């Protein structure tokens, strides 16, 4: 089921704008992430899709599920499944009864037979890997298991659209990661259209087919995770999607200077600010012909696939972060207090309005 939003806006009172007029097309079978900081409008947009909130009537917007206009259709008639952050399970019901509940309360003419309900519920519990726990109660389950029950309950009614509001927000990091992989696998197996809200950049980039990055009630950019990360539409998207190092200075004749730091750049003379991702920095024992950025290691975290290195310098307003391979970590003998040089492989600059990033590759000549 495809989803189309046209000119959807929302105000709470005359001045409290939650959403500027938004257009959004979601293809059938897509998994879309709505990503943004608190107050960006992502949950409001999701609730409008669900029918839990109504969009403004002026301007007049429209919501379509496939060819069906559902703009003024009640939530119970939209055929959507909704998964909340806090499970919302019935404590006095078993896992089986929680999943079956939506089917058992359908009007008689729409209600499946008892045998069909039993078959459907057991199939769903098998899919969410909880079949052996059908007789347990929510209090006897872990947070991750409760969220799987919540998802199975939403799928029991065979919704055309599945909407999830911070579905893993109440879980610890390891369980979140496991459930992300599991939900992605389930989505690919069943092929339903889904939209989920998150403020976790890693979660959105890992789980989504496309991500809509939101700010101040607007969609700043919607694209594939790779395109968002490599080609952000503006400064907000660039800075929101991960750690960023800032370098401010004065450009004269192709060289940016900031205290004792110097970097060759192809920018016009005047004040400039460059932005760099941690992985876009190489570390070396000596400067290169293009970069003289002396620093001191202030912290090292060798846990994980890469080593995170925190760097400080008198000419920096705030510390920088670099990520290096374990082989480089050992070769450079990185430790707190070590003096070395940063060599930017790539940097980005933005216009005063925050738009049109201009990335220039700068390959390190040392290290």
In this model, does residue 360 exceed pLDDT 80? no
Same domain for 103 and 206: yes
Q: What is the tally of structural domains in the chain? A: 2
For the cut 80, the answer to whether the pLDDT of residue 162 exceeds it is yes
Shared-domain flag, residues 189 and 333: no
Mean pLDDT of the chain, nearest integer: 89
Identify the CA nearest to 32 among candidates 189, 229, 223.
223
pLDDT tens readout for residues 176-194: 788 888 888 888 888 889 9
In a shared domain, residues 254 and 168 = no
Indicate if 222 and 112 belong to the same structural domain. yes
Q: Does 367 map to a domain?
A: no
CB 169 within 8 A of CB 85: yes
- DSSP 8-state assignment for residue 132: G
Last residue of a domain, one of 237, 261, 277: 237
Domain match, 304 and 341 both: yes
Among 186, 210, 237, residue at a domain's last position: 237
366: in domain? no
Lowest mean pLDDT across 219-233, 257-271, 352-366:
352-366
Tell me the pLDDT tens digit for each residue of 97-148.
Answer: 999 998 898 888 889 999 999 999 998 898 888 889 999 999 999 888 888 8
174 and 255 assigned to the same domain: no
Same-domain pairing of 38 and 160:
yes
**Looking at residue 82, which CATH number applies to its domain?**
3.40.50.300
Residue 265's CATH number = 2.40.50.100
Q: Are residues 194 and 247 in the same domain?
A: no
Contact call for residues 97 and 90 (beta carbons, < 8 A): yes
pLDDT digits (tens, 9 = 90+) for 191-226: 889 999 998 898 899 999 999 999 999 999 999 999
Q: Please report the pLDDT score of residue 367 as a whole number.
A: 39
DSSP string, 286-328: S--SSEE-EEEEEEEE--SSSEEEEEE-TT-SS-EEEEE-HHH
Banded pLDDT at 362 (limits 50, 70, 90): very low
**How many angstroms separate the Cα of 79 from the Cα of each of 33, 96, 310, 311, 337?**
20, 22, 50, 52, 60
Domain boundary among 207, 222, 237: 237
Residue from 10, 114, 103 nearest 56 by CA:
10
The residue ranking higher by pLDDT, 171 or 127, is: 127
Q: Are 90 and 139 in the same domain?
A: yes
* Per-residue model confidence as pLDDT tens digits over 324-343: 999 999 999 999 999 999 99
Please state, in angstroms and rounded to a whole number, the distance separating the CA atoms of residues 332 and 145: 45
Write out the residue range of the structural domain in which residue 185 sits: 3-237
User: Is the pLDDT reported for residue 266 higher than 50?
Assistant: yes
Q: How far is CA 219 from the centre of its chain?
A: 13
């Amino acid at each position: 089921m495809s989803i189309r939003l046209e000119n959807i806006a929302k105000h709470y009172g005359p001045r409290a704008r939650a959403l500027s007029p938004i257009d959004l097309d979601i293809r059938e079978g897509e998994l879309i992430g709505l990503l943004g900081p608190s107050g960006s409008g992502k949950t409001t947009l999701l609730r409008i899709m669900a029918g839990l909130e109504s969009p403004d009537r002026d301007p007049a917007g429209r919501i379509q599920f496939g060819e069906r206009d559902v703009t003024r259709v009640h939530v119970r008639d939209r055929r959507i499944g909704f998964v909340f952050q806090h499970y919302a399970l019935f404590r006095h019901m078993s896992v089986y009864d929680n999943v079956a509940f939506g089917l058992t309360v359908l009007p008689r003419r729409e209600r499946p037979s008892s045998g069909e309900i039993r078959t459907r519920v057991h199939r769903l519990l098998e899919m969410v890997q909880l079949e052996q726990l059908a007789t347990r109660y929510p209090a006897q389950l872990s947070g991750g298991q409760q969220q799987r029950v919540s998802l199975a309950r939403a799928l029991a009614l065979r919704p055309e659209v599945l909407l999830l509001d911070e579905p893993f927000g109440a879980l610890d990091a390891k369980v979140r990661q496991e459930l992300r992989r599991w939900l992605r696998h389930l989505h690919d197996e069943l092929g339903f259209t889904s939209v989920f809200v998150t403020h976790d950049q890693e979660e959105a980039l890992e789980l989504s087919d496309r991500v809509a990055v939101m700010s101040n009630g607007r969609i700043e950019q919607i694209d594939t995770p790779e395109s968002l990360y490599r080609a952000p539409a503006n400064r907000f998207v660039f800075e929101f999607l991960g750690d960023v190092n800032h370098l401010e200075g004065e450009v004269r004749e192709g060289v940016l200077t900031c205290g004792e730091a110097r970097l060759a750049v192809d920018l016009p003379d005047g004040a400039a600010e460059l932005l760099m991702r941690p992985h876009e920095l190489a570390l070396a024992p000596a400067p290169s012909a293009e970069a003289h950025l002396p620093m001191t290691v202030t912290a090292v975290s060798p846990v994980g696939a890469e080593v995170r290195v925190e760097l400080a310098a008198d000419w920096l307003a705030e510390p920088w972060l670099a990520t290096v391979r374990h082989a480089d970590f050992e070769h450079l003998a990185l430790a707190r207090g070590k003096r070395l040089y940063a060599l930017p492989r790539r940097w980005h600059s933005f216009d005063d309005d925050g738009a049109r990033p201009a990335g220039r590759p700068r390959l390190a000549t040392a290290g």
